Amino acid sequence: MVYTGKPSRGCGMCKSRRIKCDEGRPTCGNCRKSARECPGYPDEFDLVFRDENKAMAKKARKCPRAATSSCSTGASSSHTSPYLSPSPTFERSPEESSYPGEISFQITTTRSRTPSDLSQSQQILALPNYTTPPLPLDQTFDFEAFIWNLENAIPHTISLSPECEAVPFFFKNFITLPQQAESTRGYLEYLVPLYNRARPSSVLHLATTAVAMATCGQYPGRQQLLREAVSTYGKAIKKLNDDLKDPVLSKSDETVLAILMFSLYETIMSTDDTITAWGNHVDGAVALTKLRGMDQFNDPMSHAIFRAVRTMMITSCVQRSKPIDEFPGSKGWVGHGEISDENAANRLTLICIDLPNLRARANRLTTTPYDLTYESEAKQILDFAQMVDGNLEEWYFTLPPEWKHRIIGVVSSLVAPEDIALAEKWSGEQHVYHDVPLASIMNDYRVCRIFCRRVIMACVTWLSFSGSYADADRVWDKSIFVIQMMVDEISACVPFHMSYELQPLAKEMGQEQNAAEAFGGYSLVWPLYVAANAETVPQEQRDWLFGRLSVIGTKFGLSSAQVLVLARRHVLTCGPMFP
């Protein structure tokens, strides 16, 4: 770089007249006295970042072209060394980035690489080789050609590899969202610290990249990322198989979390084998968690992963009507400590931990004709379901006020039956929450209560054949009331989930609008699906709920099969769900 002196801040007229400018505003005093039009002052940006190419060229021309000593070695030593090439090189080493969204590039002017040099670095930007050939020793340096190369040889745009775009987008819009300590319950909350701790070649990095590209590939015009996602997923599965042979790696937090990420990948991609593959991944995470035993409770991160696997296990068992595996510990899946030590979100999970077995028992009983021999069994299931429903109601009343919804309006207008599927809002109160994850937990609570009440109603119907259950009418009416209240509250929060304007926290965090609405829409699919299948709800409201499901699928480019899979798998959240 050539020093061209202190830049002048005077106006253009004073510079051309070579006189000192008093820098008066809006016009300088010299121009005002001489009745000249003042052209104004240079921009501050131009004063700091000046084009010094002309000064460099002028200085280069002053050097004798035939000299090979002082000027040649000082101003441009490139013609004395056959290895120096003035072409910029963009480099990045994966180990240098400590955060998935942080991609640091080095821009340097380096010598030409030998094959051994190239093997020691990873160049992720596929740039053509624009380096000029080395100059012969007897040829002089052409400065004008050098400047032309700098201005024209480097392409105007740089194409990043798919993961360099997808992974930061995925973390920013789906992972690194603020969440209250009491509402933390899933596994995505722990992805950032474990991702940063793992090696770039680890199975967790590969699994995360596959999920990120699968998520971004759902956007219109980004379908090519889905092919990259499939390829990366295959590499991740191969790496997992290798890691499972290692007694240390197989029990690590990164490996268990990677398996949970595989289940999320299967949900997003929604292939023909999704249901089977999703269940197999959850079973694998459960098996490793049992293998890790009581030692995992000594580490806070491992304990958190244990809770996440526990929640996914409950989800999987309910979906497949499969009994929960026993955990090798004195307290079973309660783990270490007491239920009261858990945060509010995990307490909800523990309240529902026996519901998979309850569902299996209720299905076996209520699908058979009435038999006096099994009447006591029906009453036991009924009492247990009522107890769980009471615990859920008590859990709701112990929540802090900031967890509850706020009413922002009331819709009183009625929609014509033929337009009801396209209406954005259902009549009644309209609710908003602090954020979407919190609203999702509240909807999980409502789904659990709907499930409990449907089990109660099934048992009451079965017992009604004998007429021995005297309290049948009261229990039936209360169940209809609770289910309708839960469905109404789910309906009231639909606009909040699907509107960026109603999510101030998403705006504050800089979350991209489409991603924020997709996150809200995905987490709403399961509650909508359960509410729409509640047979005691009016048909018009059920039609509206199914219409919202269709809108979510259309808006985010999902097929009907994908919407159904999302409904059954609770994408991007990890909570208890029941059909």
Residues whose CB is less than 8 angstroms from the CB of residue 60 and which lie 6 or more positions away in sequence, other chains included: 75, 76, 141, 143
| Helix-helix angle 253-269:560-569, to 10 degrees | 150
**3-state SS assignment for residue 126:** coil
Task: State how far the Cα of 185 lies from the Cα of 347, in Å rounded to an integer.
Answer: 10
- Tokens representing 248 are 């240390």
H and E: helices and strands count for the chain: 24, 4
pLDDT at position 150 is 55
Looking at residue 240, what is its pLDDT?
A: 93
Phi, psi of 528 (to 5 degrees): -60, -40
Average pLDDT over residues 113-121: 37
> Is the pLDDT reported for residue 392 higher than 80?
yes
What is the reported pLDDT for 559?
56
Contact 31, 11 (CB under 8 A): yes
pLDDT at 323: 73
Is the separation of the CB atoms in 575 and 523 below 8 Å? no
Provide the pLDDT for residue 102.
Answer: 39
Q: What is the pLDDT of residue 142?
A: 61
Q: Confidence class of residue 564 from pLDDT cuts 50, 70 and 90?
A: low
User: Could you give the CA distance from residue 255 to residue 287 in angstroms, rounded to a whole number?
Assistant: 12
The distance of Cα 225 from the centroid of its chain, to the nearest Å, equals: 16
Q: Helices 472-492 & 513-532, crossing angle to 10 degrees? A: 160
Selection from 5-9, 192-196, 273-277, 566-570 with the highest mean pLDDT: 192-196
pLDDT(575) > 90: no
Cα angle 57, 59, 64 (rounded to 5 degrees) comes to 105
Around Cβ 510, how many Cβ atoms within 10 Å? Answer: 9
> How many Å apart are CA 461 and CA 464, to the nearest integer?
5
Phi and psi dihedrals of 32, rounded to 5?
Answer: -70, -40
The answer, yes or no, to whether residue 92 has pLDDT greater than 70, is no
Please tell me the predicted confidence (pLDDT) of residue 116.
38
For the cut 60, the answer to whether the pLDDT of residue 12 exceeds it is: yes
Q: In b/e form, how buried is each residue of 559-573, taking b as 16+ CB within 10 angstroms?
A: eeebbbbbbbbbbbb
Predicted local confidence at residue 241, as pLDDT:
92
Report yes or no: 126 and 159 within 8 Å, Cβ to Cβ: yes
Looking at residue 106, what is its pLDDT?
Answer: 37
- Number of neighbouring beta carbons within 10 Å of residue 186: 24
Quote the mean pLDDT of the chain: 74
Distance CA 325, CA 288 (A): 12
Q: What is the pLDDT of residue 440?
A: 87
Helix (H) or strand (E) holding 564: helix 560-569
**Is a pLDDT exceeding 90 seen at residue 47?**
no
> Tokens 């590039």 map to which residue?
105
Distance of alpha carbon 532 from alpha carbon 541, whole angstroms: 8
Where is pLDDT greater, at 557 or 32?
32
Rounded distance, CA 5 to CA 561, Å? 69
d(CA 410, CA 250): 53
CA distance 452 to 439: 20
pLDDT (0 to 100) of residue 217: 80
Is a pLDDT exceeding 60 seen at residue 117? no
Please check whether the domain covering 12-48 is classified as CATH 1.20.1260.10: no
Which band of pLDDT confidence, cut at 50, 70 and 90, is reported for residue 103?
very low
Of 318, 319, 262, the C-alpha closest to 285 is 262
Q: Mean of the pLDDT values across residues 121-136? A: 39
Confidence band (pLDDT; 50, 70, 90) for 46?
low
Using DSSP bridges, classify how beta strands 428-432 and 406-411 pair: parallel, antiparallel or unpaired.
antiparallel
Cis peptide before 64 (omega within 30 of 0): no
Structure tokens at 455: 């089990």
- Domain ranges for the chain: 12-48, 76-152, 162-351, 354-579
Q: 44 is written with which tokens?
A: 């501050």
Confidence of residue 146 (pLDDT cuts 50, 70, 90): low
Kindly state the greatest CA–CA separation across the chain: 115
Higher-pLDDT residue of 516, 121: 516
Lowest mean per-residue pLDDT among 145-159, 480-494, 499-513 = 145-159
**Would the pLDDT of 263 be above 70?**
yes
Q: What is the pLDDT of residue 87?
A: 37
CA atoms within 13 A on the CB side of 353: 22
If pLDDT is split at 50, 70 and 90, which confidence band does 56 have?
low
Q: Provide the 3-class DSSP secondary structure of residue 407.
A: strand
Q: pLDDT, tens digit, for every residue of 192-230? A: 889 988 898 999 999 999 988 888 887 667 778 888 889
Q: List the structure tokens of 89.
A: 């090189």
Kindly list the distances between the CA atom of residue 543 and the CA atoms of 186, 484, 529, in Å, as whole numbers in the listed order.
Answer: 31, 15, 11
pLDDT of residue 108 exceeding 70, the answer is no
In order of 34, 98, 210, 445, 572, the CA distances from 312 in angstroms are: 83, 29, 20, 16, 12
Distance CA 304, CA 298 (A): 11
Q: Is the pLDDT of residue 41 over 60?
A: yes
CB count within 10 Å of CB 39 equals 15
* Range list of H helices, 182-250: 191-197, 203-216, 224-243
Q: How far apart are CA 171 and CA 380, in angstroms?
A: 47
**Is residue 179 scored above 90 in pLDDT?**
no
Burial (CB < 10 A; 0-12, 13-18, 19+), residue 226, is middle
pTM: 0.59
Cβ contacts of 324 within 8 Å, gap of 6 or more: 313, 314, 317, 333, 353, 356, 357
Tens of pLDDT, residues 446-474: 988 998 999 999 999 998 887 777 788 89
Query: Greater confidence, 93 or 304?
Result: 304
End-to-end CA distance of the chain: 70
